[in-house]
Structure 1
Amino acid sequence: MAFGGLFGTSASSSPVPQQPKFDSETVATILEIQTKVQEEFAIGTAKTLVDHATEQCFTKCLKAPYSVNSSGLAQDNNCVESCLAKYLRSWNEISKAYVGRLQQQPPN
């Protein structure tokens, strides 16, 4: 018994699905929708990044009671700026590694 028969059908008896034929207007619409979805995903990802970075850095850098003198405020600002810069550098490195791995995987 072939493996295909084990799962219900044999590989030789199943027809190869035909790719649907689209006219140029339909293809353009599909590409436009894909672009919009990608843009919305990118916006959502960026919003999540900013929200997490802000929450993490402000939690780390701003301790209650908040200082009102200028030297304390400058230290807090430097800490937040440094934290955000590190967070964004890390995000960029992780994103590059993730995209690299996705590009190395063969398509399914």
Structure 2
Amino acid sequence: IKKGVIKKVRKSRQSRGRARAISKQKEKGRRKGYGKRKGKKGARVKRKKAWINNVRAQRALLRKLKKENPEKIKEIGYRKLYIMIKGGYFKSKAHLEQYIKGGK
């Protein structure tokens, strides 16, 4: 053993090569279909977190529109729109824009 005639052969381990390849694909947005999902929609994206993201996006849009087109926002009222967003009146940014433009 000391001379190196007899050597211990290491056990082969679990390869990460395939795992890396799969994670690379996932970064690109692959493997996200319905067949790959386990658990409810709420388990993947919490309802509260989704709501927070939606509200933040709408508030950012409202701020942007207030800067770009203040007279249009003044007609309805910035505060009124802000509170409507908070109350969950608008389901999306597009819905908010449509409301401001005049088409309910």
Q: Give TM-score scaled by structure 2 length.
A: 0.30
Q: Give TM-score scaled by structure 1 length.
A: 0.29
Bigger RCO of structures 1 and 2 (CA < 8 A, at least 6 apart): 2
Structure number having the greater helix percentage: 1
**For the pair shown, which has the larger CA radius of gyration, 1 or 2?**
2
